[in-house]
Amino acid sequence: MKKRIVLLMPIITLASSISAQSWNHTEAEVVVVDSVYDEVYVDSVADYAVADTSIVVDVNDNQQGFTYGELGKYVSDVDKDIPFAGGYYNKNTFVVIIANQNYQRESDVDFALNDGDSFADYCNLALGIPESNIHLIKDGTLNHMIYELDWLNNVCTAYDGDASVIFYYAGHGVPNESDGNPFLLPVDGSGKNMRTCYGLDELYSTLGTMPAKQIIVFMDACFSGSKRNGEILTSARGVAIKAKQGVPKGKLIILSAAQGDETAYSYREEGHGLFTYFLLKKLKETKGNATLEELARYVKTQVRRHSIVENEKSQTPSISYSSQMENNWRQMKLK
């Protein structure tokens, strides 16, 4: 008799069927009955797991072995039909993307790797930035962060001020509980030990001193000690902390996912961070031609509305900029 497994989260669009081989090569068929609230039927068996935006079903024939098949992967609307820049070649823009999902000492960050992959695709396809100019770091350590910032500085120096920089981060941020100063949390770091983290002020100071035309930061993280699901990190106190805001320097412009003691939530139905989803959506709608003012206004409006309805909590993206960029950031574009 076939055992019924009901997938609780209606976020996956699966193939209509898949055949998995058991240890003795007999087939156990997995059939998707409904593609909205997906119901999966399997012969004999056992377990399923939601792994990021994919579903894996372990087929067990109750004898000596099991096999598994990845049934399918949900594809958000922002990940389909990404606009193509055509003949536009954004050769003097350089990008570092840090996507930290799988932490060694802290809870994972839902969909951070998906965020990083998608943002890299938009940089390449929609903004016309060559792949060689895009460094995508998945599950970055402290050494990775230091190395990539050194790379950006060396590039800007070699280009004699004619390079533009985009820095994107998705992952945990943590506050120093003693003074409220914010830190990025590498995957090998601990929220209990700030020496294993990278200070947000240090990041902005390092980026701000680079000899670049403009430096734009997209920060899909919060620094209150909260996770994307609203829970508190195991290393943090039982309440969210209102972290200090980093100060932009040089030619720095920063679009951040949340303020103060807010949480930067995920958008589980779309397999992205809430901030990143609406950032990509605006880039898709405008084919990468939105001004920073248009981008900031759209992301702030959509994230605030969605979060208060779906999460019953505020999430308020913000834009900040250095004094040097005060008069011209609004009309600037990423391409």
Q: Kindly state the average pLDDT of the residues 135-156.
A: 98
Give the domain CATH number at 116: 3.40.50.1460
**Dist CA 245 CA 228 (whole Å):** 19
Residues 42 and 126 in one domain: no
Does pLDDT of 31 surpass 60?
A: no
Residues 193 and 305 in one domain: yes
**Dist CA 292 CA 182 (whole Å):** 24
CA atoms within 13 A on the CB side of 13: 7
**Dist CA 176 CA 232 (whole Å):** 14
**Dist CA 197 CA 186 (whole Å):** 6
76-127 per-position pLDDT tens digit: 999 999 999 988 899 999 999 999 999 999 999 999 999 999 999 999 999 9
In this prediction, residue 280 carries a pLDDT of 98
Q: 5-19, 64-78, 155-169, 243-257: lowest mean pLDDT where? A: 5-19
Residues 152 and 291 in one domain: yes
pTM for this one? 0.79
The chain-wide mean pLDDT, for the chain, equals 79
> Considering the domain boundaries, does residue 334 fall inside one?
no
Q: Kindly state the average pLDDT of the residues 185-204.
A: 95
For 59, the domain range is: 3-73
Ramachandran angles phi, psi of 123, nearest 5°: -60, -45
Structural domain tally of the chain? 2
Q: Which of 45, 73, 101 is the endpoint of a domain?
A: 73
Provide the strand spans (E) within 52-163.
54-60, 66-73, 93-99, 134-138
Q: Kindly state the average pLDDT of the residues 183-198.
A: 95
